[in-house]
Structure 1
Amino acid sequence: MPVSTLVHITYCAKIISELEPTSVLDIGCGFGIWGFLSRYCLDIVPGRVNPDSWQVRVDGIEVFEPYIQPHHRALYNSIRIADVRDVADALDPYDLIIAGDVIEHLDKEEGHKVFERLYGKAVKGLLVNIPIGPGWEHPEAHGNPAELHRSQWEIADFDAYPSVCKEFELPCGKYASFLFKPNVPIHERVEWLQGRAHCYEAGGNGGRALECMRIAHGLDASDAKATLFLVDLLIKGQEWSEALQALEASLVAAPTFHYARLTMARLLKLRSRPQEAQACIETLLASDDVPPEIATDALALLEEVRKQ
């Protein structure tokens, strides 16, 4: 919508100031609140009051041209009239990209795709402000078909990306501001997802924990802790085939992950597949640099399998 709730403005203004971006892209300008705040926090507050002295590049994208008024032209360096779905891939990198009340106006699949593209263009941070859960239905308005809310989002929809999330409670429902840190190394994303998964599991939400670990394993199948956590969750859910597939993928990514092969053999034995279990153990024992404790366990398991 051209305007939004104000409950998160102070919080987001603090983020903008602390990031100190030299370039800002406001997706879905609407009334222009994010352009105003960016200009105020990054140029006016530091003392560059005269527009001739402004140093920060503040650009915008707006799908509905009638929203753009003279004050937009005064505050923004440039405003592009376009649908973000059409231009996201070709955007320049920006230190800070702000998507305020934008993603819920897209279908869920489109929203995820746009988020991915914006995340890839942000240098210092991607700030996403979005309604959470039910209670935020919004029709077409002001002659703008894009005002319709086409999707509902939850905090968990953004689990795959390390972020700082601030939640707000409003009479109509929950609202959240996410600051996503871009260019996060894969191992940090995997650790983040493991942390989220542990929280979900502790709260009794094994399904969400499993989804987090599937994403983590897809990012880095060689990560031992992530693999074993995923396999444990899959076994608890009796997803035997997927557990074996996860172990196989880890061994392709990390052939010296000997404990994964031992775990695979145990799982094959458990599923009454002794010949495959025996072959798995023999491959393990023929490998180089197998730790003594794993070799001992493998020999004991081999005896059990032969009796099966």
Structure 2
Amino acid sequence: MPTSISEGKDWSLRLFEQHKPDTVCDVGPGEGTYARLFRPAHHGVWWTAIEIHKPYIRKYGLKNTAKRTDRYDEIHNLDAREAPDHLFHRDLVIFGDVLEHMPREDAVALLHKAEAAGCWNILVSVPIVEAPQGEVDGNPHEEHVHHWDADDMDGVLAGLGGRVDTMRGDTLGVWWWSRRT
């Protein structure tokens, strides 16, 4: 779904406020949940989005305009797995409710790609309960392809080195990986 439940959002916001990133790449922003939540907490951030489903860009008004400052400064309509590395060279890369939409090996490779590109922090949010989902609103990319469990994601992010903070809720697991230990 292009939306996300509220679980873990307050926890994520506290870490965002603590780290105060100046550049963010939001992968699969859907309706722009994280930009709406985080933008008021730290002004002057350059927000980039990578959205695979072009209709969402218009439907959810993701492109920043003079009248709306709660969206993205730069948006790329492409599959993040094929995105150029420089898009991940940010203070923060957000994978909010997106990694379950691809095979596990692709998700792991994407996390490694972001780390190798030089990002300083990675925020991951995925369902940690069985959450079958097919195509939504004409978007075949909304299908849940891989079911993550929290221990698996713990191991994947620990494999990047750095520091990992975790919040496990009833439905979502949320991780903040930081290059800084």
- 1:176 paired residue number: 173
- 2:74 paired residue number: 78
CA offsets per residue over residues 99-158 of structure 1, 9 Å max, x none? 00111000111111112112333533100001114x211111111010000001112223
Greater fraction of residues in strand: 2
The question of whether the paired residues in 2 share the 8 Å contact of 1:19 and 1:124 is answered with no
- Matches of 1:167 and 1:88 in 2, distance apart? 31
Counterpart selection for 2:147 from 131, 144, 152: 152
- 2:3 paired residue number: 3
Greater length-normalized contact order (CA 8 Å, ≥ 6 residues apart): 2
- Matches of 1:119 and 1:136 in 2, distance apart? 28
TM-score, length-scaled by structure 1 = 0.52
Counterpart selection for 2:101 from 105, 130, 137: 105
SS at match of 2:179: coil
The aligned runs of 1:10-29 (5 Å cut-off) are: 10-29=10-29
Number of positions where the alignment pairs a residue of Structure 1 with one of Structure 2 = 168
The alignment status of 1:167 with 2:163, answered yes or no, reads no
User: What runs of 5+ residues in structure 2 fail to find an aligned partner?
Assistant: 65-70
The alignment status of 1:57 with 2:46, answered yes or no, reads yes
Say if 1:34 and 1:121 are closer, same or farther in 2 by CA, change over 3 A: farther
Work out the percentage of aligned pairs sharing the same amino acid. 26
CA offsets per residue over residues 43-91 of structure 1, 9 Å max, x none? 1xxxxxxxxxxx2101101000111137422221111000011115353
SS at match of 2:42: helix
- Matches of 1:149 and 1:122 in 2, distance apart? 28
- Matches of 2:92 and 2:34 in 1, distance apart? 11
Q: Could you list the runs of 4 or more consecutive aligned residues of structure 1 that deviate by over 3 angstroms after TM superposition?
A: none
- 1:275 paired residue number: none
The alignment yields a C-alpha RMSD, in angstroms, of 1.8
TM-score, length-scaled by structure 2 = 0.85
User: What runs of 5+ residues in structure 1 fail to find an aligned partner?
Assistant: 44-54, 185-308
Which deviates further from its counterpart, 158-167 or 147-156?
Answer: 158-167
CA offsets per residue over residues 218-261 of structure 1, 9 Å max, x none? xxxxxxxxxxxxxxxxxxxxxxxxxxxxxxxxxxxxxxxxxxxx
The aligned runs of 1:246-261 (5 Å cut-off) are: none
- 1:211 paired residue number: none
- Matches of 1:17 and 1:88 in 2, distance apart? 28
SS at match of 1:72: coil
- Matches of 1:151 and 1:42 in 2, distance apart? 33
The question of whether the paired residues in 1 share the 8 Å contact of 2:25 and 2:87 is answered with no
1:155 maps to a residue whose letter is A
- 1:33 paired residue number: 33
